[in-house]
Every structure is written in structure tokens, then in C-alpha cells.
Amino acid sequence: MKSSRARNPKKKEYFTVMIVPGPNSRVRTISISKSAIKSALLSILGVVILSFYLVYEYHDVKGKVWELQSLREELSQQKAQVQNFALNLLDYKRQMFLLRDLDTKLRRAVSLGPRDKAQQVLGIGGPDELGLQNVTALGEKKQAEALKEMSEELTQLKGAASRQEASLQMLIEYFEDKRSLLASTPSIWPVRGWVTSRFGTRTSPFSGILKFHEGMDIAAQTGTPVVAAADGVVVKAGFSTGYGNMVEIHHGYRIRTLYAHNSRLNVKAGQRVHRGDVIAYAGDSGSSTGPHLHYEVKVNGLPVNPAKYLN
């Protein structure tokens, strides 16, 4: 390759390129001006710089697009979570409404009376008062505002739940007390047999004079099981003049029962018994004209008619 320059400085300068294809081929020459080469080099350099810039911009935009897509997916997940939370909150409010309604019905059924006014104002309303619009419109309003509203409602719901819990606890205690009272109230026959002498004034079989009979006599064969008429604690178990082998049970609520003239006993003083437990066996011990059970019920220390408690 040879190069030549013009001797006249005012003329354009050229680069001459000689091409020799082979030994027997014609030599070819190409002349390129210096300014053209500079322009070409500048163009190539510009293309290279532009290419690097475009590649850089492409990767930068690609990263931003990926980041934007990731943010969109995250926002979509958060929106779904907010909507799910709103629906759960609505469901809790419906359950609270049902509990409050049940509380009111139970109080009416047992004549317990309404709760205090402060407790009645639960501020939760019916199942539609949350406003389904708040749930369905989450896409149209800022999630921060929706979360703030739901947070306030959740705080109110917690307070309402606490008051409702206190009210239901009161109902539970009331029913527990009623259950205990029912378990402690004589309600079954202490022995299977037939009534030979009822509660009230009668002619004494021993003296022949009128005398108040404080219990009920139930004829039964000797050895017939005698059972507790209700839950309670045995306060007496042993022989007593007149009553013979007797058992006395304290049931609570100022209720006591007495079982007399037994052939033998099956419990001891201080023992806790339940309704239906065998406590003795019928007989004719003490002042008795034949095998039977003398059964008494006392309330506040006063004898009452046992027939009222027999089913």
C-alpha cells in the first residue's frame, strides 16, 4: 500500500490505495480524500458511541420495566390482601351481630333483663352496616384510606367483642347457676314402691293421736336400693332414735333431704353424691311398723311436701 499527498497545500489531500490481485493481474488504485476518511471515521465513532448508549438505555429501561412490573404485582397482591381483610372484617361483624341477637333472645327467654345501656351500644349494627361499597371500591380509592377505615372499625369491633364477652360470661354464669340448682333440686323417687302415708296431719300409728307427718312414707321390700334424689353432700349417716338408720343430704340452695328406717347404709358423712347414687337399702329400723322409706324434703330448715319434687 502506498500513499501520496499533493504538493499544493490548497488542494485536497488524498490517500491512494494500490491493489495488486496477482502477478499477472493489473494493478488497481483507489484514491480517498483525507476529509472523506475523517468523516467516515467520525461517523463510525458516532455509530459506536450511539450503539453503546442505546445498549445502556435498553438495559436501564429493561430494569425499570422489570421493577415496575414487580411493583405492580406487589400492589396487586396488597390490594387482594386488603380486600380479603375487608371481607373477613365484614364476616366478623356479622358474627358479632348474631351473637348480640342471641344474647338478647337468651336474656328475654330467662327474664334476666337487658344489659347496661353502655354495653348495649355495641356500635356494630347489622350485617350490612360495614358497607360492601368499601370492599368493592378499593380499586378506586387509596389503599391507605381503606386501611385506616378498616383499622378504626377493627378497634370498634374489639371493644364490642370485649363487651359482648362480658355479657355472655354473665349468661354462662347464670346458666351454670341454674344447672347447679337443677342438679341440687330433688326430682326423682328415692325408692320404688307405693305411698302408704303422705305429708301432713295424720293419726300416729303408735299413739293414735293427730300428729304432723313431716315427710312421705314409701313402702318397699327390705333391701330395695334407696337413691339420692339430687346432687349433694352427706351431712349425716348413722343410727338416730325414731329414724333408725338414716341419711341426710345437703344439696345447697338451703335444700336438704332425709332418708330413714333403712336396713343398712351405703354412704358416710362428708361423702359427695350425685342424683341416682345408691345411698342405702330400705328396711324397718327405728320406729317403724314395716319395711318402708321415710323421705323428707326441707327448704330453709322447714319441711315441705316431697310430692312436689317427685317425677
Task: State the distance between the two ends of the chain, measured CA to CA, in whole angstroms.
Answer: 133
Is 57 inside a domain boundary?
Answer: no
Determine what percent of the chain falls in helix, strand and coil, rounding each to the nearest 5: 40, 25, 30
Are residues 264 and 217 both part of a single domain?
yes
Which of residues 149, 184, 219 is at a domain's end? 184
In this structure, the chain runs to a length of: 311
**CATH number of domain containing 265:** 2.70.70.10
pLDDT of 38 higher than 50: yes
Is 17 inside a domain boundary?
Answer: no
Are residues 222 and 163 both part of a single domain?
no
pLDDT of 134 higher than 60: no
Question: For residue range 294-311, what is the model confidence (pLDDT) as tens digits?
Answer: 999 999 999 999 999 987
Is 46 inside a domain boundary?
Answer: no
Is 62 inside a domain boundary?
Answer: no
With a pLDDT cut of 70, the percent of the chain lying above it is 82
Which of residues 165, 184, 203 is at a domain's end? 184
Is 141 inside a domain boundary?
Answer: yes
The three three-digit cell numbers of residue 240, written as one number? 338416730
Which of residues 184, 202, 228 is at a domain's end? 184
Are 93 and 156 in contact by the 8 Å Cβ rule? The answer is: no
CA distance 86 to 96: 15
pLDDT of residue 10: 54
Q: Higher pLDDT residue, 175 or 301? A: 301
Structural domain boundaries, residue 95:
83-184
pLDDT of residue 115: 62
Are residues 169 and 216 both part of a single domain?
no
In 28-142, alpha helices (H): 34-109, 117-120, 132-136
pLDDT of residue 244: 96
| Average pLDDT over every residue of 220-230 | 96
Are residues 165 and 235 both part of a single domain?
no
Least confident of 4-18, 127-141, 142-156, 243-257: 127-141
Q: Higher pLDDT residue, 269 or 35? A: 269
Is 267 inside a domain boundary?
Answer: yes
pLDDT of residue 204: 78
pLDDT of 184 higher than 80: yes
Are residues 170 and 260 both part of a single domain?
no
Question: For residue range 57-96, what is the model confidence (pLDDT) as tens digits?
Answer: 777 777 777 777 777 777 777 777 777 777 777 777 787 7
pLDDT of residue 169: 81
Is 2 inside a domain boundary?
Answer: no
| Average pLDDT over every residue of 183-207 | 90
Are residues 198 and 170 both part of a single domain?
no
Are residues 180 and 201 both part of a single domain?
no
Least confident of 71-75, 192-196, 235-239, 260-264: 71-75
Strands 272-273 and 200-203: unpaired
User: pTM higher than 0.85 for the full model?
Assistant: no
Are residues 221 and 171 both part of a single domain?
no
Are residues 236 and 283 both part of a single domain?
yes
Are residues 216 and 143 both part of a single domain?
no
pLDDT of residue 47: 80
Domains identified in the chain, total number: 2
Are residues 205 and 305 both part of a single domain?
yes
CB atoms within 10 A of CB 159: 13
Is 66 inside a domain boundary?
Answer: no
Are residues 213 and 295 both part of a single domain?
yes
